[in-house]
Copies of this chain bind each other. A is one copy, B any other.
Amino acid sequence: MNFDLTDEHQMLQDSLRRFLKYSCNSKTRNEALSSETGVTSDLWHAMAEMGVIGAFFTEEQGGFGGTGADIALVFEELGRANVVSPFLDSALLSGRVLAAAGELDRVADLIGGDLQLALAHGEPTSRYDLNYVRTASVNGILNGRKAVVVNALASDILIVSARTSGKVYDEAGISLYFVEKDAAGLNIQDYALIAGGHAAEVTLDNVQGSLIGEEGKGFALLKEAYAIATVAQCAETLGEMTAATELTQEYLVTRQQFGRPIATFQALAHRMSDMLIEMEQARSAVIRAAGYFESDERTRDINIHAAKNLMGRAGRLIAEESIQMHGGIAMTQEYELAHIAKRITMADHRFGDTDYHLEKFMALTQS
């Protein structure tokens, strides 16, 4: 048992943290936020060059990492610096689907920073159910609607799930397709997201797709990719929670009310202590989710569900308490915390929320 970072991880963390501190600030973020697609291509390419995207894939897949620990490390740093960039959806989630399906040329492009992807899987009434697919494929002709597809507009090509057999909640019979951005019958209604970045409603009206991997076997690829994406999301949120807590600590020490720093008001001091305790718990949950990612599936899933549930609860505490203890200033868009709090809260809406993962955890541990 050993909780120290390896030398390689320590180096990666140091260089990432230094780079992000230098290159990410509210100015670059606001540029990303107000850009047409939510993607800052300079940052994307610079990070790709640093090998950040390569860290998401194993050597066999053309990368030089790919473990839970590699990925958690990168995303925690992205979260800590409050980076708005679609690494999670475009590179990790979509990329791991392609890597598992053996599409290694595309993965190489991705690692090089030359490809933007989007995974169009969720549907208007699927909520967080991964097995819900109503979009239908008949001989590669797709019909249906995909909901809140992150990074759709900026993507070079879409990955779309569709049902080739079975009923709407069946795991078997889900297939994956490439869909060209200029395909006839494809409509992308783009919108900005509260926490930054863009997503879209994607409608498919007799759209030609090209099969990825084996027909009807897409669910396993999706499940695996969503699992690692959930770990990444937890790690990113941990970074954001760290940033929020540090800002709040600093504010309590600096801000004067009634003639003294508000950190000296015991009610606030005790609540800050509770936040710090939950931060340690959150860090442990992420360490477990990342560290057990290579274990057997049950151990892996138990720890991922546990982590996402705990992050949902601790994240809410940290976001809400940070705002409350700051007071009015935290309500303003220009103050860093507002942005961080939105990212922490919106993380609960990705890859299953607090209750969704609690139920999955219950199913695995109480049977």
Which A positions have Cβ atoms within 8 angstroms of B?
A: 265-267, 269-270
Contacts and interface: CB of A to CB of B under 8 A. Distances in A.
A349 to B, nearest CB: 23
Q: Is the interface of A mostly helix, strand, loop or mixed?
A: helix
A62 to B, nearest CB: 51
Contacts of A265: 266
Nearest to A265: B266
Contacts of A266: 265-267
A363 B240 CA distance: 39
Contacts of A267: 266-267, 269-270
Contacts of A270: 267
A266 B266 CA distance: 5
A258 to B, nearest CB: 11
6 contacts: A265-B266, A266-B266, A266-B267, A267-B267, A267-B269, A267-B270
Nearest to A269: B267
Residue from the set A265, A267, A269 with the largest chain B CB neighbour count within 10 Å:
A267
Contacts of A269: 267
A267 B271 CA distance: 9
A267 B264 CA distance: 11
Nearest to A271: B267
A366 B340 CA distance: 35
A212 B355 CA distance: 48
